[in-house]
Structure 1
Amino acid sequence: MRCFIGLNVTDATARRLRSLPMPAGVRPVPLADYHLTLAFLGDQNETGAKHLWPDLQAAVAPLTPFTLTLASVMAFPDHGGPIWAARALAEAPLLALHRAVRGVLDHAGVPADQHDFAPHVTLGRGRAPLTATPLPGPWTMPVREVIFYESPGAGQAYRPLAVFPLGAGHLHPA
């Protein structure tokens, strides 16, 4: 199964972002799929994925919940094609969370994504280069948990498999 680790976008923030104008030719992402990817794991077997969960919980448990700032909405380069996205500020709490998650994956031998960490929330996808004017923010959202997702395939919603609260000590199966 294809997996990734990310942050869910709150309903209130998702609705605010969805209300913004999108450039012509951009296909919106379903609201339920708004997220910020911390790490893409690619194909993992279920046993291997579940084996990561205790270490992920231990890594994020000591971290304090924080507020994430989405600075602007803009065309964003992506290896899969042009996207319309809310760009997150790479502030210290987000970077610490990313390092904690990446540390678990490195220790487990899960290869790192080939791209640098560029935190964003994909709002829509286009087929050609997008030249729309960026929309200034900021928008904020609370970060209280990390989610281990399955990405079942095109046209299917991402499925949370496990939730790891920041500042807590117990795994909560999704």
Structure 2
Amino acid sequence: MRCFLGFDLTAAEKLQLQSWCDKALPPLHKAVPPANYHITSVFLGQLEDDQLDHLTQALDTLNWDAFELHIDELGYWKKPRILYAGCQHIPDGANAVHRQLAAIAHQAGINVQHGHYVPHITVARKVVEPVPSPLFQPAMTIRLSQLHLFESVSGKQGVHYPIRRSWPCRLRSPGHRL
């Protein structure tokens, strides 16, 4: 099973991001369907049953605080040719969860990519330069309060990401600074 750990967006957040794409960007050839919008924390790749068991058992014991991401910029990665909505400031909570999940994956025998973590929502794939400039930047806040194990499933209709398991985060009051 090909998997990743990450966060889903609510239906309202997916519609809000799609509305921004429709208003701020030209039509995109390989636009990601709003149903596929998500934020990956750790890409796991192909998992064996024992790796999945070890991973889920470790995740069952964890507690971390929910956090918010302020989606406020359009970005582009040249090598994978991905256009994404991201955040100028990465909150400590996002980095802490990413590091913790990467360590758990490593303990389960899963090789994960190391490097600078950039939480993002892919809005288009196979984008050829020149990259379109948005008419205005996105401006939305997403509260991430539940971690999910997603499976990446390819089919005739394209790829989709069913949620296979979920873990709630601790919630703090909305006025608490994350």
TM-score (normalizing by structure 2):
0.81
Q: Does structure 1 residue 87 correspond to structure 2 residue 91?
A: no
**How many angstroms does 1:40 deviate by?**
0.7
Instruction: Report the Cα distance in structure 1 between the residues aligned to 2:108 and 2:71, rounded to whole angstroms.
Output: 31
Is the 1:90–1:119 Cα contact (8 Å) retained in structure 2? yes
**What is the number of equivalent residue pairs in this alignment?**
164
Q: What SS class does the counterpart of residue 19 from structure 1 fall into?
A: helix
**How many angstroms does 1:79 deviate by?**
4.0
1:119-158 to 2 correspondences below 5 Å: 119-134=119-134, 135-153=136-154, 155-158=158-161
Instruction: Report the Cα distance in structure 1 between the residues aligned to 2:65 and 2:92, rounded to whole angstroms.
Output: 12
In the other structure, the counterpart of 1:67 is 68
What are the Cα deviations for residues 13-51 of structure 1, in whole angstroms up to 9, with x where unaligned? 111110123334432212221111111111112342133
Instruction: Report the Cα distance in structure 2 between the residues aligned to 1:143 and 1:23, rounded to whole angstroms.
Output: 29
Q: What SS class does the counterpart of residue 69 from structure 2 fall into?
A: strand
Measured on the aligned residues, the alpha-carbon RMSD in Å equals 2.1
Relative to structure 1, the CA distance from residue 34 to residue 161 in structure 2 (aligned partners, 3 Å threshold; closer, same or farther) is same
For 1:163, which of 137, 148, 166 is the aligned residue? Answer: 166
Instruction: Report the Cα distance in structure 1 between the residues aligned to 2:30 and 2:151, rounded to whole angstroms.
Output: 22
Instruction: Report the Cα distance in structure 2 between the residues aligned to 1:148 and 1:55, rounded to whole angstroms.
Output: 13
Is the 1:144–1:166 Cα contact (8 Å) retained in structure 2? yes
**How many angstroms does 1:144 deviate by?**
0.7
Instruction: Report the Cα distance in structure 2 between the residues aligned to 1:93 and 1:129, rounded to whole angstroms.
Output: 33
Structure with greater strand percent:
1
Instruction: Report the Cα distance in structure 2 between the residues aligned to 1:79 and 1:41, rounded to whole angstroms.
Output: 20
Is the 1:25–1:126 Cα contact (8 Å) retained in structure 2? no
Is the 2:51–2:108 Cα contact (8 Å) retained in structure 1? no
Report sequence identity in percent: 26
What are the Cα deviations for residues 56-81 of structure 1, in whole angstroms up to 9, with x where unaligned? 2323x2x1212221121x2410643x
TM-score (normalizing by structure 1):
0.83
Is the 1:2–1:152 Cα contact (8 Å) retained in structure 2? yes
Is the 2:9–2:142 Cα contact (8 Å) retained in structure 1? yes
Structure 2: runs of 5+ lacking an equivalent: 172-178
In the other structure, the counterpart of 1:13 is 13
Instruction: Report the Cα distance in structure 1 between the residues aligned to 2:114 and 2:67, rounded to whole angstroms.
Output: 27
